[in-house]
Chain A
Amino acid sequence: MAQKAIREYDAKSILARHWDKYFPDFTYAYETVLVQNGSELKELAKEKSWLNEKALVAKPDMLFGKRGKNGLVLFKDQKPGDVTLEKAAAWIDEKSSKEQEVYFSFDGDTPTGEPKVDMLTHFVVEPFTPHDQSEEYYISATVVGDEDVLYMSAEGGMEVEEGWDEKVTEVKFPITATEEEIAEKIKANVPADVKDEDKENFAKFAIGFFKAYRELNFAYLEINPFVMQGNKIELLDMVAKLDDTAGFMMVEEWGDVEFPTAFGMEEKSPEVLAVEEADAKTGASLKLTLLKPEARIWTMVAGGGASVVYADTIADMAGIEDLANYGEYSGGPTTGETKFYAETLLDLMTREKDAQGRDKILIIGGAIANFTDVAKTFTGIIQAFEEYADKMKEVGIKIYVRRGGPNYEKGLKDIKEAADRLGLDIEVYGPETHVTDIVRMALEK
């Protein structure tokens, strides 16, 4: 997936690194730190004096919003603006010591839906910034359809989220818009409610913001709110996604940026991580998502489109409760890469027997390949069979193969012979059989 969320801390760091280029008329103190526990924060205070000198704000930085409503923003001990380093460190240790419930949606102040439960592991700590509500503004940018859209509002924080339609000015830009056109259009669309004395500065800031969004390859960039006090800017809260396909050109610009798993998302299994790592290293494509590892039907399908068709068909015919995984391999992986991918699946598949004592089903499917050598990729699968044949027999697996493309006759013959030799239960079909028909066959038995 091309668009990946980054931490608030990283979003601020990226803007701070390029501040003078995009916001030459403004200052930003960039007083912010990212820590995992209280002692780390105290350690940082030795070099960053503001952590000792200023009142602090602390909040989790784990790709979720509504932190205020979830009671996860520390800004007061007795009264707003009195949080000391000591207090912040203690609060972080407390919040990270046990699982926390976080609601992602609210009706007013009442949480709705089910909370996600997870550990809090990353916190951002910044100075408490006393300011007037009227100095808070909202700005964000993203791509909608084929156009970039800039959203601006004279009101920041919760207010803007709750009165989006009335309070936000939307400006759309085609990708071909020039800097002059963009500047012109932003100047003409500064929200009417922005204070008169701030209007010119607001436009300047918005122009720089949108330029940074474009040039630094953000897919989504939001500051809600930012505080504007003359030429002094504070970024109180940020949300950002980067287009990670641009990573190769943004090495310098982004610096050392992390793409973390969001709060409440299951940590990826080591197997999935291993496949991701292998995918990153090859020109081919290797993808694996575990849906329900204890389920009965496993798929090892070639091709981004075909893999979806198989998943659709299994969902239709057997139901999703029987589908263990989704994944695909394509783009001409080597024999070694295919072997690794097949072994990963077979390893996961042979850990437990089916709870109801049925045979498990392995669908080795694929459309008619354009250029992937079927015999070569099947050699990798056969090698994996050889490793796992005993375990496969113990668990009980029926294998259904359907594939076409370069060298498919040899590939099908090889895999049939290997399975027979190893005593595995297999049925093999070529392009004369409809692509997903093996799913029907497997389920009818």
Chain B
Amino acid sequence: MAQLFTKDTQAIFWNNNKTAIQRMLDYDYTIKRETPSVAAIVAPTSGNKFEKFFWGADEIMIPLYKSTTEAKAAQPQADVLLNFASFRTAYDVTMEALNLGGFKTIMITAEGIPERLARGMNAYARELNVTVIGPATVGAIAPGAFKIANIGGTIENIINSKLHRAGSCGLVTRSGGLFNELSNIIAINADGIAEGVAIGGDRFVGSVFIDNLLRMQDNPEVKYMILLGEVGGTEEYKVIEAVKSGKITKPIIAWCIGTIAKHYSSGVQFGHAGASANGDAETAEAKNKAMAEAGIHVPATFNDLPAKIKEVYESLKADGTISEIAEPEINIVPKVRRPKQFICTISDDRGEEATYAGFPISSVALPSTGKGIGDVISLLWFKKQYPKWATDFIETVIKTVADHGPAVSGAHNAKVTARAGKSVVESLVTGLLTIGPRFGGAIDGAAEYFKYADDNNLTPKEFLAYMKKQGVPIPGIGHRIKSLKNPDLRVKGLMDYAAENFPATPLLDYARTVEALTTSKKENLILNVDGTIGILMVDMWRALGYSEEEINEFISSGTLNAFFIVGRSIGFIGHVLDEKRLAMPMYRHPMDDILYDVKKAEKIEK
């Protein structure tokens, strides 16, 4: 790969460093990227599922994950890891990513990773052909395509330094601060950079000068290179070798900083940990001299570097190697932005016609569309278009749970309230408010416990023992009068439908083996309608391809209850209207139906 990054490159950002991520997204917006350059954030200690960021004046959500593994599984296209972990954990984070695979580039910002760990991590990455930028770096940039975190500084500076679009220089430095400074110098004296890398200040860094320069040699956008080296180390000599051997043919302008070091015998550490000369060849002087002798353009001092850049650039322009760059249009990031208080991901009323998850209402509402209430639920609850067997199942469930007579507590409440002269909605909610763990909740409970047993490979016997230990009767098992011999036809209908239409019903199959055991103890301990619905919902989601975690989340967020709420609302409203129609008077419970057991209150002396 001749290019480090493209306009499609996406990264996983390890650590929720909001300022740096916002800078990346502002950059993306400015250069009109289509996708955000950060696909995911790894935030091991956060309980949130996403973080909001500005995208121009709008906002977007970047998903949060607990680990790199989860993030990579969810965002496999993201092939850059921006490792912003501390020096204590940066090594582990890098190694996890390397072992995971699928990353082309890993950038490490921490300074002072133990040397032995840094060396091991760099060697392993090299073996796997993964480019490591850092440790102890501010990163890299491919102007007009992708920028890492804070490199380039503020968006104003980026535009001033022409880092918003590709120029023709390949820039490699050790220092991050001087990288920025050089970008500015190059923008003033030439046409900006095509790709730039700050390799990092630690003694052992992953990719070194030569790795980056060789890639730039192969990158047709790069017409010449600038290398800013430092006193210490021998990496510049590898560049000299490559120039001499003809591996690098593009012009290089280079300077090694730290010429002052020669004046001090030892003990003064100038600049980065990597900057300390062992022997004459490692001094800045010797390296500058050797580079000049190899035909690299070396200025007399750092102060003369701008003039040298101008000179080389102008000559490349004169001979036609570099042509004028058309300045692209950019988006302007607004100066004042307000975060949004609410987020909506299911429907949108801003267009011509309001939509349900992207579908105009008329496209699902009219009979001619062939869509039913199950389709509407799948769009508005799950933001997906479920297949017909699933939407039919949802509708069957809703129809099945619509009513269960006037005696159940919810219907009774609704009726009592209606007789007190309250409105439909008031009466309805008194009924709905009874829905919970004892009324309707068996659906949730059955899904939860049966799934738990199945996930943990409990045999029916073990499951029964487990529930006994929990001190809970198994939700979804047992009926007042029905038994295997005298089956509940609603249950039979649901099971038959599933057998015919579901691709598979693993949880129901498991539940049947449990039922076989419970009914052998007592005839009426059958799978009841609540249990069957809860269990089949899990099977439906499994067949639709949801992960176990996602299904667990549906259960814990009360989605199963929601089917019951929608269905039973139909019945409650029926009972309320029934009371209104009959004009029934205020209800008073007969006193002889109440056991009065009132004792005189004792006085507490203390």
CB B42 to nearest CB in A, in angstroms, measures: 20
Question: Can you name the residue of chain A whose Cβ is closest to the Cβ of B127?
Answer: A176
Whether A304 touches B175, Cβ cut-off 8 Å, given contacts A175-B116, A175-B120, is: yes
Are the C-beta atoms of B19 and A371 separated by less than 8 Å?
Answer: yes
Which B residues are in CB contact (< 8 Å) with A249? 114
Question: Can you name the residue of chain B whose Cβ is closest to the Cβ of A249?
Answer: B114
Q: Write the B263-278 contact mask toward A (1 if CB under 8 angstroms, else 0).
A: 1100111111101100
Whether A1 touches B273, Cβ cut-off 8 Å, given contacts A243-B115, A305-B174, is: yes
Are the C-beta atoms of B175 and A246 separated by less than 8 Å?
Answer: no
**Chain A binder among B252-260, B548-556, B573-581, B595-603:** B252-260
Are the C-beta atoms of B306 and A243 separated by less than 8 Å?
Answer: no
CB A409 to nearest CB in B, in angstroms, measures: 9
Are the C-beta atoms of B157 and A368 separated by less than 8 Å?
Answer: yes
Give residues of chain B (278-324) contacting chain A, Cβ–Cβ below 8 Å.
Answer: 284, 301-303, 306
Which A residues are in CB contact (< 8 Å) with B177? 302-306, 330, 366-370
Q: Write the B169-190 contact mask toward A (1 if CB under 8 angstroms, else 0).
A: 0000111111111001100000
CB B457 to nearest CB in A, in angstroms, measures: 38
CB A266 to nearest CB in B, in angstroms, measures: 9
Give A316 to B19 CA distance when docked, in angstroms. 39
Interface size class of B (residues with CB under 8 A): 35 or more
CB B523 to nearest CB in A, in angstroms, measures: 65
Give A366 to B178 CA distance when docked, in angstroms. 9
Give A370 to B177 CA distance when docked, in angstroms. 6
Size of the A side of the interface (Cβ < 8 Å), in residues, is: 57
Give A217 to B185 CA distance when docked, in angstroms. 41
Q: Is A225 an interface residue (CB 8 A)?
A: no
Are the C-beta atoms of A304 and B271 separated by less than 8 Å?
Answer: yes
Are the C-beta atoms of B115 and A143 separated by less than 8 Å?
Answer: yes
Give A329 to B394 CA distance when docked, in angstroms. 64
Which B residues are in CB contact (< 8 Å) with A97? none
Give A1 to B185 CA distance when docked, in angstroms. 30
Q: Write the A398-421 contact mask toward B (1 if CB under 8 angstroms, else 0).
A: 000000111000000000000000
Interface SS of chain A:
mixed
Question: Can you name the residue of chain B whose Cβ is closest to the Cβ of A307?
Answer: B271
Are the C-beta atoms of A434 and B260 separated by less than 8 Å?
Answer: no
Give A296 to B295 CA distance when docked, in angstroms. 39
CB B550 to nearest CB in A, in angstroms, measures: 37
A-B contact count, CB below 8 Å?
Answer: 171
Which B residues are in CB contact (< 8 Å) with A330? 177
Give A291 to B265 CA distance when docked, in angstroms. 12
Which A residues are in CB contact (< 8 Å) with B301? 312-313, 316
Q: Is B563 an interface residue (CB 8 A)?
A: no
Which B residues are in CB contact (< 8 Å) with A405? 153-154, 157, 180
Q: Which of B123, B151, B152, B184 contacts A431 (CB 8 A)?
A: B184
Are the C-beta atoms of B153 and A370 separated by less than 8 Å?
Answer: yes
Most buried by A among B160, B175, B258, B264: B175
Are the C-beta atoms of B176 and A305 separated by less than 8 Å?
Answer: yes
Q: Is A289 an interface residue (CB 8 A)?
A: yes
Are the C-beta atoms of B153 and A368 separated by less than 8 Å?
Answer: yes
Which B residues are in CB contact (< 8 Å) with A176? 120, 123-124, 127
Q: Is B150 an interface residue (CB 8 A)?
A: yes
Q: Which of B154, B203, B258 contacts A2 (CB 8 A)?
A: B203
Are the C-beta atoms of B115 and A219 separated by less than 8 Å?
Answer: yes
Question: Can you name the residue of chain A whose Cβ is closest to the Cβ of B204?
Answer: A146
Give A330 to B257 CA distance when docked, in angstroms. 18
**Chain B binder among A124-132, A228-236, A346-354, A435-443:** A435-443
Give A401 to B142 CA distance when docked, in angstroms. 31
Q: Is A265 an interface residue (CB 8 A)?
A: yes
Are the C-beta atoms of B230 and A308 separated by less than 8 Å?
Answer: yes
Which B residues are in CB contact (< 8 Å) with A371? 19-20, 138, 150, 153
Q: Write the A245-259 contact mask toward B (1 if CB under 8 angstroms, else 0).
A: 110110000000000
Are the C-beta atoms of A2 and B271 separated by less than 8 Å?
Answer: no
Question: Can you name the residue of chain A whose Cβ is closest to the Cβ of B185?
Answer: A434
Q: Is A72 an interface residue (CB 8 A)?
A: no
Q: Is A326 an interface residue (CB 8 A)?
A: yes
CB B214 to nearest CB in A, in angstroms, measures: 17
CB A188 to nearest CB in B, in angstroms, measures: 23
CB B235 to nearest CB in A, in angstroms, measures: 10
Question: Ordered nearest first, which 3 A-B pairs have the shortest CB separation?
Answer: A305-B175, A303-B177, A246-B114
Task: Other than A246-B116, A304-B275, A307-B271, give 15 A-B pairs with Cβ distance below 8 A.
Answer: A175-B120, A246-B114, A287-B269, A291-B268, A306-B178, A309-B178, A312-B259, A312-B260, A326-B268, A369-B180, A370-B180, A371-B19, A405-B153, A431-B160, A431-B184
